[in-house]
Amino acid sequence: MTAIVWFRQDLRLSDNAALYHACRAAGQVIPLFIHDPTPTTVSQLGAASSVWLHHSLQALDTDLQAVGNRLVLRQGEALPILQALIAATGATRVYWNRVYDPASLSRDTQIKAALRQVCEVHSFNASLLKEPWEVLKSDGTPYKVFTPYWKAMLKSGIQRLPLPSPPHIPAPTVPVASESLESFGLLPRIRWDTPMMAHWQVGETAALQRLLDFLPDSGADYKDARNFPAQPATSRLSPHLHFGEISPQQAVYHTEHFLTQHPGAESGLRHFMQEIGWREFSYYLLCHFPQTIDQALDVRFRQFPWAENTAELLERWKRGQTGFPIVDAGMRELWHTGWMHNRVRMIVASFLTKNLLIPWQAGENWFRDTLVDTDLASNVFGWQWTAGCGADAAPYFRIFNPILQSQKFDAAGDYIRRWVPELPCSSPIVDLKASRERALERFKRIAGSGTV
């Protein structure tokens, strides 16, 4: 029997339910990745994450070859590609792990219905600790506040033993044609990505090693140290989690195992697992409230009076030329490394949406294009949180003062000097006090205009 395993955001061999069950059931396995770069699919990536995907697919193919198989690459619309491959190979089963953005959920439902006319289809959860529909309030409605959601998650149990990596993945007896990875065009013609990727190791092996290094190096101090951008105190697992080079189940399992031997790290690592919970919550909200991809969850903000004629201000923000050192440092870190420290993400997002009064969607789009860890759910959630219009949002009147933030979290200026060596900066593009008062005045206009 031949089975197709359709890889998506699960670019790993271990704790991969679709691959695990396919190998147990089939004598021949066809590992498949489909590059479907249309606006409504998960493959619609930004420039930075496209580069990461190239290297991640390369790493996955290397890992598959080590256990007797290889990755088959195809490009185009998923359903006809799957149908053609089934017809050509006689495959009787298709396996995949679910993805949870609204477009993909709808597409996969249609694909499953069509393929079940000719073969078995099996889908699994390999990207989340719990399915979004498994954790609901007592009245059957979804949570909108993180703390009760996370308590319910913990009560239901979030730890399980990760599935092992198959020691051998039986290849099809007749070779299956594959397109070249280069034909996907994921790498830029002008290789601006080379210095960016110098900051990263890509693939399943690198992802697990990053976690195993983080736990003893930074785990105990994570709760507090993660707020200081000059310190290497965060896990930097986000791109690995997004592309599925490591699963959240693996992160929880290894963290819990580490804690059995190092109980002194309890406070820091419980907070680390809570951050994995925030990632989980972002997917949960996107699944239950799919309109939040581009609309505020708080409906009042759909009438918010944003500023006009802001194109030049937006460009200055993107280039890290706002005249506020920590904002400029963050935007330049993003441009050079494809990543930005989480504390600084909140600062630059607050500055854009509240001091410049530029819609959060503009910032979300820029992050989506420039982050290697760009993740639709987390990106939308983070931007709406900081803009004050999403679930568990920072109150709109909480406007991060970039000067006070840098004094508190980069007092010695190490982070700022690394990315803004030409200090002092150029003149500020906005007056902090006046722009804060303007933002609060505009919020008052919509404050009583409807319910959340």
The domains of the chain, with CATH numbers, are 2-127 (3.40.50.620), 130-162+204-288 (1.25.40.80), 299-447 (1.10.579.10)
Structure tokens at 330: 């963050």
Kindly give the confidence (pLDDT) of every residue in the chain, 452 residues in length, as a single tens digit, with 9 standing for 90 and above: 999 999 999 999 999 999 999 999 999 999 999 998 765 554 567 999 999 999 999 999 999 999 999 999 999 999 999 999 999 999 999 999 999 988 889 999 999 999 999 999 999 999 999 999 999 999 999 999 999 999 999 999 998 999 999 999 999 999 999 999 999 999 999 999 999 999 999 999 999 999 999 999 999 999 999 999 999 999 999 999 999 999 999 999 999 999 999 999 999 999 999 999 999 999 999 999 999 999 999 999 989 999 999 999 999 999 999 999 999 999 999 999 999 999 999 999 999 999 999 999 999 999 999 999 988 899 999 999 999 999 877 777 889 999 999 999 999 999 999 999 998 888 999 999 999 999 999 999 888 765 44
Count of other CB atoms within 10 angstroms of residue 361: 18
Region of 323 please: left (phi>0), alpha (psi -120 to 50) or beta.
Answer: left
Q: What CA–CA distance (Å, rounded) separates 332 from 349?
A: 14
Q: What CA–CA distance (Å, rounded) separates 91 from 445?
A: 60
Beta-carbon contacts of residue 52 (< 8 Å; ≥ 6 apart): 197, 200, 202, 239, 243, 338, 372
Quote the strand ranges of 55-147, DSSP E.
72-75, 93-97, 120-124
Beta-carbon contacts of residue 123 (< 8 Å; ≥ 6 apart): 18, 95, 96, 97, 98, 108, 112
Single pTM value for the model: 0.95
Per the annotation, the verdict on 342 as an active-site residue is yes
Residue 392: per-residue pLDDT:
76
Per the annotation, the verdict on 278 as an active-site residue is yes
Per the annotation, the verdict on 360 as an active-site residue is yes
Q: Which helix (H) or strand (E) element contains residue 368?
A: helix 360-370
Q: What CA–CA distance (Å, rounded) separates 63 from 59?
A: 6
Beta bridge partners of residue 2, listed in sequence order: 28
Find, among 196, 164, 203, 197, the residue nearest to 57 by Cα: 203
Q: What is the CA radius of gyration of the chain?
A: 23
Residue whose entry in the numeric block shows the structure tokens 């205009």: 449
Q: How many residues does the structure list for the chain?
A: 452
Q: Which of 204, 275, 280, 364 is catalytic?
A: 275
Evaluate whether 371 touches 379 at the Cβ level (below 8 Å). Answer: yes
Q: How remote is the C-alpha of 9 from its chain's centroid?
A: 10
Q: Which of 150, 200, 383, 419 is catalytic?
A: 383
Q: What CA–CA distance (Å, rounded) separates 158 from 15?
A: 15
Q: Which helix (H) or strand (E) element contains residue 7?
A: strand 2-7
Q: What CA–CA distance (Å, rounded) separates 406 from 419?
A: 13
Residue 424: per-residue pLDDT:
81
Q: What is the DSSP string of 193-247?
A: HHHHHTT---SHHHHHHHHHHHHHHHTTTHHHHTT-TTS--S---HHHHHTTSS-
Q: Which of 278, 335, 365, 401 is catalytic?
A: 278
Residue 44: per-residue pLDDT:
62
Evaluate whether 13 touches 64 at the Cβ level (below 8 Å). Answer: yes
Residue whose entry in the numeric block shows the structure tokens 């298709």: 94
Kindly compute the dihedral angle of the four CA atoms of residues 71, 32, 201, 329, in this order, to the nearest 10 degrees.
150
Quote the strand ranges of 19-170, DSSP E.
28-35, 72-75, 93-97, 120-124
Q: Which of 52, 200, 360, 419 is catalytic?
A: 360
Per the annotation, the verdict on 306 as an active-site residue is yes
Beta-carbon contacts of residue 309 (< 8 Å; ≥ 6 apart): none
Beta-carbon contacts of residue 152 (< 8 Å; ≥ 6 apart): 135, 143
